[in-house]
Amino acid sequence: MKAIILAAGYATRLYPLTKDRPKPLLEVAGKSILDHIIEKMMNVSELDEIIIVTNDKFTSHFEKWLDKVDYNKSISVVNDGTLTNDTRLGAIGDIQYVIDNHGVKDDLMILAGDNLFDFELSDFADYFNEKDSDCITAYLEENKTQLKRAGVVKLDNMDKVLSFEEKPQHPKSSYCVPAFYLYKKETLPLIRQYLDEGHNPDAPGHFVPYLLNNRPVHAYRFEGKRYDIGTVESYERVKGIFEGK
């Protein structure tokens, strides 16, 4: 199993904090957001390589970070060649860029580089192996405003995905889908097909409805919190939570 951490955005909503520093390298409770994520990835036994995809502006920042850390899995940094928010490839475009340029042919874990979460990625991987299908994650979101800003999924009683909508005006359920995915190696060509057909290359959730038309998908329902760091206010709030303030 390989993993891609999506870190090629420019985080303009977090300016000035991220004007000259990538969002995943912002610190929370004494370590970077990226380190929080990778520490959980270390417990996924099947995972043998982690690929951080970023842009030309921030590649050197991640390379300097990589020089200083010592993890027991292979980690590499891939530069997608973009320099500005206007020329970015989009998350799905970046996933395909890594698949093409890194020759990825294994099962693939995909994670946002700006989310902190309570659940264990090893449990997610166990669920993926048990279901033997492509898997997304879902959690119960009580905040209706947040549901309208996220991907929302409808499930059957076996947690098979029945429908998925990105930022729905009228959510069909209260299950929110963050950017944590596990795709089988047989699914990877569908990402290229999706892009070649001209679909939205941006938010990774846009691929899920397309996938549902081609393959069964299950949702790993996790307990606990998940924190999406998108604004200065949300960053300060998460820091306060993790630092016990």
Q: Residue 143 is part of which domain span? A: 2-242
Do residues 73 and 49 touch, judged by C-beta distance below 8 A? Answer: yes
- Mean pLDDT, rounded, for 233-238: 92
Closest by Cα among 112, 148, 111, 109 to 126: 109
Supply the pLDDT for residue 142.
85
- Residue 66, C-beta contacts closer than 8 angstroms, at least 6 positions apart: 75, 77
In 3D, which of 148, 151, 147, 149 has the Cα closest to residue 161?
A: 151
Contact by Cβ (8 Å): 175, 141? yes
Q: Identify the three-state secondary structure at position 220.
A: strand
Of the listed ranges 7-21, 37-51, 66-80, 119-133, the least confidently predicted one is 7-21
Backbone dihedral angles phi then psi of residue 48, each to the nearest 5 degrees: -115, -5
Give residue 223's pLDDT.
87
| CATH code of residue 191 | 3.90.550.10
Structural domain count of the chain: 1
CB 6 within 8 Å of CB 112: yes
